[in-house]
Structure 1
Amino acid sequence: MNRDDDGYAERVAFYDTVYEQPERALDLAWLRRWLPQQYFGRRVLELACGSGYWTQYLAPAARAYLALDVSPGALALAGQRPGVGSPACGFPICRASGARWRWRRCTAVWRPARR
């Protein structure tokens, strides 16, 4: 199933509003500082990157970064985030064979929680 067919690309930006809720502000500020340190200099594979909210914080710290999602619309949004325009950051559409190409030696995997 192509998730864009059911409007997924249009809804993906809505998910960022979860991060704007005041009750999450302190926790998210801490995570935005702490998480990049955990991935510094590593080859990171991000599964289900969605709108790229976390990609924009992790990709600049990584040696190489591959963000995957089944939605081309989500990948387009993620690719527009600040800090993800470096040659070390890639945004292919998620396909089983495409994900293996040069990421066999990735040293970290990031999968943001979805609720």
Structure 2
Amino acid sequence: MPSLEIVTSRLCLLPFTQEICQQVLAGEYTALEHTGITPAPGWPDEETLDTLPKILKNLAKVPAPTGFESWMVLKKENMTLIGDASFKGVPNPNGEVDLGYGIIAAEQQKGYGLEVAQALTN
């Protein structure tokens, strides 16, 4: 697994890697499977597939994930991938940062987005 990890009561957040992004865009999930991650039915959705090239571009700018790139959102109980979250840059001088997230339709309205946002801002 990648070295950065954020764990909440229900979720595990892991940074995307270039390998994972490239494979998912190609319809391949070997890198995920090797880390014990199972994509939930419905993942990746269209929004995620549109976002992955941007994630790859941002990852190419750094030698390793810094924590301010994009994260996979997994249900901790079974390491099922249900969404993603991203910082839109690093904090400004006031410590403010823009954050976006997406959770697959079947897992929405369960408080996961709020849990992700709180974990990443902490």
TM range (shorter): under 0.3
TM-score calculated relative to the size of structure 2: 0.27
Structure richer in helix, relative to its length: 1
TM-score calculated relative to the size of structure 1: 0.28
